Amino acid sequence: MSLVPPVLVVEGLVRRYGDRVIVNRVAFTIAAGEMVSLMGASGCGKTTLLHMLGTLDRPDEGRILVEGRDVARLSAAERTLLRRERLGFVFQQSNLLPELSTRENVALPAWRNTGHRQQSLARADALLKRFGLDRRADAQGHVLSLGEAQRVAVARAIINEPRLVLADEPTGSLDSDAAHAVLDALSEICLTGAALLVVTHDPSVAARCTRRLTMRDGQIQLDPDQPRIAAVI
């Protein structure tokens, strides 16, 4: 039994769209510092699950505990605050706001969180430097390469030092070099003690994770090749 307290606990999660069950009694935990992949065929419910974990969508049944707090018991304002302070998101593409520069894109969540623009921009600059993007700080989002844009999105996802980062196919539209750079950036998240759940189709991405979850028909499958797997139905 791990002594590290779980950042995320999922119990009996169910999500239906009409008569169709998209996520069916899913349960697992993710501890702080863990890098967990979630694999599965298209349409198996990965993104729906990810959005429920990120409080963008609500489950029909089950519980989601983020750092011990049941998100179903939170008000809309508290869920917004949870997303802002404790969660980070990286999506597959179109992650950046085109009117803003790279540093402004990264600084935006911190600016909203603290109200201090200059401090947020300084923190954004530090993150961009860490990810080797400092020379692109003033570039608009739309002139960046896909790989650069995804690393900017990773920097933005962690600027408020979240406890859990949810990444939805972050390397899905990247070549292998760019994908490696993004994975390197994502890996750094876990070094800070945050947990990472990354939805992917790419086995090489899953291979870099400490644990792998596989979804099929809305359910988490036990994988005999993955002895470290902790997911249970």
Partner 1 sequence: MMIAAVAVGIGFEVPAVANLRGYHAELLAQALDSGSGDVRVHPWRGSFIRDADALALRLGQIPGVAEASPVLGAPASISGHGHAVSLGILGINPSATYQPYRLTAGHPLGDRDRDGILLGYSIAQALEVAVGDQVELRVMLSTYPRLLLDDGGYGVYTMIIRGLVGFSASNSAFVTRSFLAAELGDDDAASMLIVHARDHEAASAIAAIATRIAPGVESRGWMEDSSYLHSSVQAVDTLGAVSWLLGILAVGIPVMALLYVNTLNRRRQIGLLSAMGFSRGDLFLTFLLQALILGAAGVLVGTLIALGLVRYLIAHPIFDWQGFVVRPVLALSDVARTAAAILASTIAAGSYPAWRAARVDPSRILRGIE
Residues that bind partner 1 (CB under 8 A): 47-48, 51, 54, 56-57, 76-77, 80-85, 87, 89, 91, 94-95, 97, 108-109, 112-113, 156, 160, 168
Nearest-approach distance from CB 1 to partner 1, in angstroms? 33
In whole angstroms, the minimum distance from the beta carbon of 85 to partner 1 comes to 7
CB of 172 to partner 1, least distance (A): 13
What is the rounded CA–CA span in Å between residue 90 and residue 157? Answer: 6
Output DSSP code: residue 44: S
> Taking the complex as a whole, how short is the minimal distance between the CB of residue 220 and partner 1, in angstroms?
20
Q: 172 is written with which tokens?
A: 């899905």
| CB closer to partner 1 out of 156 and 211 | 156
Smallest distance from partner 1 to CB 228, Å? 29
Closer Cβ to partner 1, 55 or 171, answer by number:
55
In the bound state with partner 1, the residue whose beta carbon lies nearer, of 57 and 188, is: 57
* Nearest residue (CB) to partner 1, 88 versus 147: 88
| For the chain, the helix, strand and coil percentages under 3-state DSSP, each to the nearest 5 | 40, 25, 35
Strand partners, 165: 88, 196
> Who contacts 154 (Cβ-Cβ below 8 Å, separation ≥6)?
90, 131, 167, 170, 182, 185, 186, 189
Question: From the CB of 110, what's the least distance to partner 1, in Å?
Answer: 10
What the block records as the tokens of 112 is 């909203």
Please say which residue, 94 or 192, places its beta carbon nearer to partner 1: 94
Three-state secondary structure along 99-167?
CCEHHHHHHHHHHHHHCCHHHHHHHHHHHHHHCCCHHHCCCEHHHCCHHHHHHHHHHHHHCCCCCEEEE
Closest CA to 34 of 146, 159, 183, 189: 189
10 vs 87 by CB, closer to partner 1: 87
Strands 69-70, 211-216: pairing kind: unpaired
What's the CA gap between 108 and 48, in Å, rounded? 26
Q: Minimum distance between the CB of residue 184 and partner 1, rounded to whole angstroms?
A: 23
- The residue among 87 and 194 lying less far from partner 1, judged by its C-beta, is 87
